[in-house]
Amino acid sequence: MKKISIIGVPMDLGQTRRGVDMGPSAIRYAGVVERIESIGYHVQDEGNIEIAPAERVHSDSKTNLKNLSAVADASERLASKVHEVVTQDHFPLVLGGDHSIAIGTLAGVSKHYQNLGVIWYDAHGDLNTADTSPSGNIHGMPLAASLGIGHPTLTNIGDYTPKVKPENIVIIGARSLDEGERELIKEKGIRVYTMHEIDRLGMTKVMEETIEYLRSKTDGVHLSLDLDGLDPHDAPGVGTPVIGGISYRESHLAMEMLAESNLITSAEFVEVNPILDERNKTATVAVALMGSLFGEKLL
């Protein structure tokens, strides 16, 4: 029986809107353990990574990056835990927290693969650096950091860099990219399916192309799913909602196709903020999508 280890990361230091630290609790409350066990997996809840309280965190005056040392510290702890879980041959399922946690997740996972693929399911590219970020919020930087681009404190988590190659990344759902991110995407040749492509091609074609593209060149694929990839109508409890997103049904189809592909070797679901939510709707959506990702079927 396949074993899944759940790791909670109650991190809200990568951005400035409080409440996303409650995301792991909200997802657990929405029944994630029971849902995945009902599909036939053995689920081990590893509890939460310890995060420094926001009010005790001070930013380094030499950089515009908010909470740099605290985010780096949490990333190292998460990387170590994820590494331990993968070593035990468990599938790591990480619950966020803001998207800066992906720095730690990828640092822990990528050690185990020669050519890790990454599906970045998100309204944003998260490809900013200190030089290009309008805000200094690290949750807009994890993919850049994992490519080895940005502040060395972030790029060297786990004592190695890079974690992923640009040709092994597919971004799905992008509809809000900063100028520096657009330039980096073009420069590195990163494959991106914006909402325009999803509307034009349909989600079936987007996922078929993504799966084919990654299958040929990777030995494992990490799914990093930001709930703001979905339209705010379906997932209102996120810190940076962008209208015109992927629908609930399209997202289920994407997860179902990934389940059939058998490609995904690790995953994280991030940016669930119950304070901004409606009756825990977004966490419930996250759990339902996890069900589809792990092979839940109607018939």
| DSSP line for 32-53 | HHHHHHHHT-EEEEEEE-----
User: How far is Cα 143 from Cα 14, in angstroms, rounded to an integer?
Assistant: 13
Give me the pLDDT at residue 16, please.
87
Q: Which one of the listed residues 12, 73, 76, 126 is annotated catalytic?
A: 126
- On whether the CB atoms of residues 8 and 95 are closer than 8 A, the answer is yes
User: How far is Cα 1 from Cα 7, in angstroms, rounded to an integer?
Assistant: 19
Distances (CA, A) of 24 to 12, 45, 82: 11, 11, 16
User: How far is Cα 256 from Cα 185, in angstroms, rounded to an integer?
Assistant: 27
**The tokens of 156 are what?**
């060297």
Q: Which one of the listed residues 99, 151, 222, 252 is annotated catalytic?
A: 99
**The tokens of 282 are what?**
């977004």
Q: Is 58 a catalytic residue?
A: no
Question: Total structural domains in the chain?
Answer: 1
Q: Is 226 a catalytic residue?
A: yes
The answer to whether residue 224 is domain-embedded is yes
Give me the pLDDT at residue 285, please.
98
Name the residue among 232, 229, 281, 221 with its Cα closest to residue 257. Answer: 221
- On whether the CB atoms of residues 158 and 209 are closer than 8 A, the answer is no
- On whether the CB atoms of residues 237 and 228 are closer than 8 A, the answer is no
The answer to whether residue 37 is domain-embedded is yes
- What CATH number corresponds to the domain at position 80? 3.40.800.10
User: How far is Cα 140 from Cα 15, in angstroms, rounded to an integer?
Assistant: 8
Q: Is 98 a catalytic residue?
A: no
Q: Is 99 a catalytic residue?
A: yes
The answer to whether residue 263 is domain-embedded is yes
Q: Is 89 a catalytic residue?
A: no
User: How far is Cα 14 from Cα 182, in angstroms, rounded to an integer?
Assistant: 21
User: How far is Cα 47 from Cα 251, in angstroms, rounded to an integer?
Assistant: 27
User: How far is Cα 197 from Cα 226, in angstroms, rounded to an integer?
Assistant: 19
Q: Is 122 a catalytic residue?
A: yes
In the numeric block, the tokens 């825990």 are attached to: 280
The answer to whether residue 299 is domain-embedded is no
User: How far is Cα 105 from Cα 225, in angstroms, rounded to an integer?
Assistant: 12
Give me the pLDDT at residue 63, please.
80
Give me the pLDDT at residue 274, please.
98
Q: What is the dihedral of CA 18, 10, 93, 245, to 10 degrees?
A: 0
Q: Which one of the listed residues 73, 98, 181, 226 is annotated catalytic?
A: 226
The answer to whether residue 298 is domain-embedded is no
Q: Is 228 a catalytic residue?
A: yes
Q: Residues 100-114: pLDDT tens digits? A: 999 999 999 999 999
In the numeric block, the tokens 């040392």 are attached to: 69
- On whether the CB atoms of residues 173 and 229 are closer than 8 A, the answer is yes
Q: Which one of the listed residues 122, 231, 250, 268 is annotated catalytic?
A: 122
The answer to whether residue 282 is domain-embedded is yes
- The amino acid sitting at 186 is K
pLDDT in tens, the chain (299 residues): 799 999 999 999 999 889 999 999 999 999 999 999 999 999 999 999 999 876 555 555 578 899 999 999 999 999 999 999 999 999 999 999 999 999 999 999 999 999 999 999 999 999 999 999 989 999 999 999 999 999 999 999 999 999 999 999 999 999 999 999 999 999 999 999 999 999 999 999 999 999 999 999 999 999 999 999 999 999 999 999 999 999 999 999 999 999 999 999 999 999 999 999 999 999 999 999 999 999 998 87
Domain containing residue 73:
3-293
The answer to whether residue 143 is domain-embedded is yes
**The tokens of 49 are what?**
């990574």
Q: Is 12 a catalytic residue?
A: no
User: How far is Cα 199 from Cα 208, in angstroms, rounded to an integer?
Assistant: 15
The answer to whether residue 238 is domain-embedded is yes
